Chain A
């Protein structure tokens, strides 16, 4: 299967682990990714905060480039990019002529959040077929964050208050996804540089609940959530007077692990909070 691919800026930098794991599992799932030629930054929080028109048109430019590729599906791993592209597509289709210097091509591909795409029935089947090492014994909570699901008019999510995509993928791999109430509660990633105090409160609340429901790890599909939950556990634990040590895995890394794809060790070694000890304890890691 061939699809259009928009990696987004952070997958070229700090989220290299996410990017590599996606390439790794797409090989094993027989998905060929064609990157949009010359794509630009979606503008992210900065553009929609202080320059609305630029936010729409930056994403619009990339959409028009995507329209030139022949594929009907476009995969977007970063929920922020996904959200901005969907917002631009919606906005430019509703009131373009009057307010924006841009018209959208008619032949846009369907814009997919990567996790939702891989949680569709046919993809779950393909994933299940290739499992060589079921992730038995691994108990996790899935954490979706804000941008893949909200607001639902834009994202077209139907289960936005209790999304299931990651849970389905996790269960499919043989691991357990524990139900919990904070799947879509904000981790404050957009304020991590400017207001770390707010982030400590929001993320601490997530760790605390994950601990209470008995999770061993947190599984995410967003590189901003991943960084935010992975990087400051010691400090946030100190603020809360507790000790937290949750590996924060990308769902793609878990698929790679279950498929025994080459490179898992390299992806995981880019994390800050130790991702290996838990896997070793559960006999899911035979170090190469």
Chain B
């Protein structure tokens, strides 16, 4: 996190959207709701983090944690496709699209990841076929309101 959550709130109050919308914090936030639950002033901090992420995407502000945005985006695309998420294609697609596989390849740890994936499928945890639903159209309508943004993002860094 490059800003502490209270700094995010403060910057919103004093009107510095540019700083908050491009910060790492809103993306690194795990949405654990601890802060919202404990805030003595009833500030909905985690919900605000969500709101800022959505604003940043809508304004096409480059995401400083591109792999996180790729993950969310890929998940929703998968839901749009089937009506339910189909992990068997979602997970490998994420690894490829996010560049994560490339990173694992370069770090020479891709074999560990592959081994785990192989173990999981041997244990029957990756079904072969997706379960699709009749109400796909409704789901697509719900998910189709935002215009699909092209994800443009700078190199990811750890913060």
Contact = CB atoms under 8 A, between A and B. Distances in A.
B31 A48 contact: yes
Contacts of B158: 195, 197
A128 interface: no
Interface of B: 28, 30-34, 36-37, 46, 50-51, 53-54, 57, 65, 67-73, 75-76, 79, 83-88, 91, 94-95, 98, 100, 112, 116, 119-120, 123-127, 131, 133-135, 138-139, 142-143, 145-146, 158
B32 A48 contact: no
A54 B67 contact: no
B57 to A, nearest CB: 5
A243 interface: no
A137 interface: no
B129 to A, nearest CB: 10
A52 B36 contact: no
A51 B68 contact: no
A22 to B, nearest CB: 16
Given A57-B142, A58-B139, A49 B124 contact: no
Contact of B133 (A14, A38, A45, A146): A38
Interface of A: 9-10, 12-17, 38-41, 43-54, 57-58, 61, 146-147, 150-152, 160, 184, 186, 188, 190-191, 193-195, 197-198, 231, 235, 269-272
Given A13-B127, A198-B30, A151 B72 contact: no
A186 B35 CA distance: 12
Contacts of B120: 14, 272
B72 A46 contact: yes
Contacts of A235: 112
B145 A53 contact: yes
Contact of A146 (B28, B33, B86, B131): B33
22 contacts: A10-B87, A12-B84, A41-B139, A45-B31, A46-B72, A46-B73, A47-B79, A47-B143, A48-B50, A49-B31, A50-B72, A50-B76, A51-B143, A51-B145, A53-B142, A54-B76, A186-B30, A193-B95, A193-B100, A194-B67, A195-B68, A198-B30
Nearest to B159: A195
A191 B68 contact: yes
A54 B65 CA distance: 22
Contact of A58 (B30, B73, B142): B142
A185 to B, nearest CB: 8
A188 B50 CA distance: 16
Contacts of B143: 47, 51, 54, 58
Q: Return the 3 tightest CB-CB contacts between A and B, nearest first.
A: A186-B32, A46-B75, A150-B33
